[in-house]
């Protein structure tokens, strides 16, 4: 049977008393694991001292406990990992984690970390990490140093950390892998100027799971340096040596906004190398909440298929560059319905794929309706009808046809070189379908006077 121990904070701001009590509890953990309850209140711990490395599930609960890093030193405020391979028969029980703690780095030094965890299966985390804002500091460091981290679930509220949440591979042994498979994470970030939201580095491979990022970024710095999501680096050692950090087959949901004013708004997604890719992911990428202003994704190597954001199916808002990989299947997922504006013909193409217009006057399909659509393959279907009553049934529809097309001012091509004339008569209805490969040149066809 696993042991449970409940500890109270000492109130000693030097950290000596709380550290000794916690180390005593850790040293007494039996081989089948334990639960350590840190009761509510202010705890004081020096960084780099609390290490839990046991091949058994250890849980730390601390709802209402605020743990302050003291002494100005560097290192991890809390470190937890499994020192025995997750594939080993000597480590048959998975699990463990840290739940409910607030980890505060206001008095920590450079290069410090709130929670450093990894080399585990089935673990859970639910923490708030804040003010680890010195050079090289990290709020929550999810790291493979010996084996892999898989099937972890967690949510992190990360506030004012140099790098708020980092997935990493820092191990040097031959058995270390870059796998972060089958994990589900919710990251709520409040990042200040120059602070990254979520970083994949060291070859971290996040796949077959989910990554959700919510929150606020800013105010803006003078030059863009930070990113909501950053992919960088390769695995330096282990069985996956040389592999690039990347996301694969992940439900990737990002709903964020950038606050403040300036000229160096954070990047939406920063991709350091052409091989740091996002591939076969689905979800919503929404960077346009509030009065958001962002620096568009740098799309490293975006002119080449197979680089940067390779394959993403979903809704992309607030950064049209994320759909600009030439030849790459970066698409906006179809919606059931889209809003049409009868008075101007300004179809909100970025908000849907199926539209209906009941004519109340002659209209021009305005180019502005195309401005935020992806620069990639897509199809739009438009049902247009003359009035069913009122005496006027011959309103016209004009389609854009500039000499050359662009994403914001597209060119629509029709069979025979001319757009069809809208059918007339009471309730007359035409169906138009527009198809494109690049968002700039569309091919239209019409099924007219349906009844």
pLDDT at 350: 66
Whether 68 and 202 share a structural domain: yes
Whether 147 and 285 share a structural domain: yes
* Distance set, CA 1 to CA 17, 24, 35, 120, 162 (Å): 28, 19, 11, 21, 41
pLDDT at 439: 82
Whether 24 and 96 share a structural domain: yes
pLDDT at 304: 41
Whether 241 and 165 share a structural domain: yes
Whether 94 and 180 share a structural domain: yes
pLDDT at 38: 97
pLDDT at 326: 37
Whether 310 and 401 share a structural domain: no
Domain end call among 332, 358, 391: 332
In a domain? residue 379: yes
pLDDT at 91: 55
pLDDT at 93: 56
Whether 153 and 278 share a structural domain: yes
Whether 206 and 355 share a structural domain: no
In a domain? residue 339: no
In a domain? residue 283: yes
Which of the residues in the chain have pLDDT under 50? 1, 302-306, 325-336
In a domain? residue 305: yes
Whether 97 and 202 share a structural domain: yes
Rounded to whole angstroms, how far apart are CA atoms 407 and 368? Answer: 10
Domain end call among 332, 367, 385: 332
Whether 373 and 406 share a structural domain: yes
- Domain with 404, as residue range(s), is 349-450
Per-residue pLDDT tens over the stretch 341-365: 555 677 777 667 788 888 989 998 8
């Amino acid at each position: 049977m696993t042991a449970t121990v409940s500890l109270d904070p000492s109130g000693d701001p030097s950290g000596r008393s709380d550290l000794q009590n916690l180390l005593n509890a850790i040293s007494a953990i039996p081989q089948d694991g334990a639960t350590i309850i840190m009761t509510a209140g202010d705890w004081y711990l020096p960084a780099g001292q609390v290490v839990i490395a046991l091949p058994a599930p250890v849980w730390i609960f601390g709802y209402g406990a605020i743990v302050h890093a003291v002494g100005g030193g560097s290192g991890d405020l809390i470190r937890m990992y499994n020192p025995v391979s997750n594939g080993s028969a000597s480590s048959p029980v998975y699990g463990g984690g840290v739940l409910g703690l607030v980890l505060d780095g206001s008095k920590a030094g450079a290069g410090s970390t709130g929670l450093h965890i990894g080399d585990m299966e089935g673990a859970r985390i639910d923490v708030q990490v804040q003010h680890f804002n010195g050079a090289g500091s990290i709020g929550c460091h999810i790291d493979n140093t010996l084996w892999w981290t898989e099937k972890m679930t967690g949510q992190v509220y990360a506030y004012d950390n140099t790098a708020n949440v980092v997935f990493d591979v820092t191990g040097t042994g031959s058995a270390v892998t870059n796998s972060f498979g089958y994990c589900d994470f919710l990251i709520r970030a409040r990042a200040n100027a120059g602070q990254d939201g979520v970083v994949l580095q060291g070859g971290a491979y996040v796949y077959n799971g989910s990554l959700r990022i919510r929150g606020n970024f800013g105010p803006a710095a003078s030059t863009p340096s930070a990113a909501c999501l950053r992919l960088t680096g390769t695995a330096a050692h282990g069985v996956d040596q040389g592999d690039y950090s990347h996301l694969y087959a992940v439900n990737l949901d990002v709903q964020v906004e950038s606050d403040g004013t300036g000229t160096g708004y954070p990047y939406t997604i920063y991709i350091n190398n052409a091989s740091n890719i996002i591939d076969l992911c689905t979800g919503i990428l929404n960077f346009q909440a509030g009065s958001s202003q962002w620096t568009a994704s740098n799309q490293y190597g975006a002119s080449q298929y197979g680089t940067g954001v390779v394959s993403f199916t979903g809704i992309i808002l607030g950064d049209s560059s994320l759909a600009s990989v030439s030849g790459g299947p970066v698409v906006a997922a179809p919606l059931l319905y889209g809003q049409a504006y009868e008075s101007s013909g300004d179809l909100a193409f970025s908000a849907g794929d199926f539209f209906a217009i009941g004519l109340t006057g002659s209209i021009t399909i305005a180019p502005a309706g195309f401005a935020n659509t992806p620069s990639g393959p897509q199809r739009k279907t438009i049902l247009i009808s003359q009035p069913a009553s009122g005496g006027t049934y011959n309103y016209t529809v004009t389609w854009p046809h500039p000499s050359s097309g662009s994403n914001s001012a597209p060119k629509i091509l029709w069979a025979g070189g001319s757009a069809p004339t809208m059918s007339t008569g009471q309730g007359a209805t035409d169906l138009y379908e527009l198809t494109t490969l690049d968002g700039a040149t569309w091919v239209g066809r019409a099924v007219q006077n349906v009844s």
